[in-house]
Amino acid sequence: MFRFSKIFAAIVILIYSYQPSNANFLDPIQLEAVNAVNSYLNNIEHMEGDFIQVNPDSSISEGRFYIRRPGKFRFDYSKPESLLVVSDGVWLGIIDREIETLDRYPIRYSPHYVLFKKNVSLLDDARILGIEFYDKFLVLSIEGLTDEEIGEITLHFHVRDSINESYTNLELYEWYIVDAQGFETNVKLSDVVHGIVAEHSYFVVKEESK
């Protein structure tokens, strides 16, 4: 279990070009942090809650999210938004229910791919861009190892004094995504619960009527 023995105020930035592994470039505290994140993500089975999204133009969206590992997630935006983002583990669908359109992409192109796959191993499947340590907080930035995974994602975790439902003392509460064009989107989670099994139909990539 990852714990802080002191307050870390410095920001550690790790820069790589094409090295095959991150492990050789992490100090013991950084390696412990990454392994704790791996454990947290691998222990998520069913997770849902509310989210607020701050878009690149500073507008605000909100809705309900559902995660069913491996590979499946759903972000259902509340009205007046008509957007639905859903993954079936292979495809990522972006659905506009008002105009009844569906844009579909291979999930491996999304920065979410390495987070929700069957066996999460950030040391093998992602490039560690930065690690920041604070008292009771951990911030980890990653991107894919190839040009297929577009964008980078920065995960923000609370560090608790005891273990939680995911059998670690970490709890994911927000992330930032920077896309290939450099636009940043922030997603904040709230009222998160574990263990509620969402219906399989929630994770079907298809057009939905409004």
Hey, what domains does the chain have and what are their CATH numbers? 11-203 (2.50.20.10)
Q: Is the peptide bond before 80 cis (omega within 30 degrees of 0)?
A: yes
Element at 40 (helix H, strand E): helix 28-42
User: How does pLDDT run along the chain (210 residues), one tens digit per residue?
Assistant: 544 332 222 222 222 223 334 655 778 888 888 999 999 999 999 999 999 999 999 999 999 999 999 989 999 999 999 999 999 999 999 999 999 899 998 888 777 788 888 899 998 888 898 898 888 999 999 987 766 656 789 999 999 887 776 667 899 999 999 987 889 999 999 999 998 999 899 999 986 655
Whole-model pTM? 0.81
Indicate the residue type of 79. K
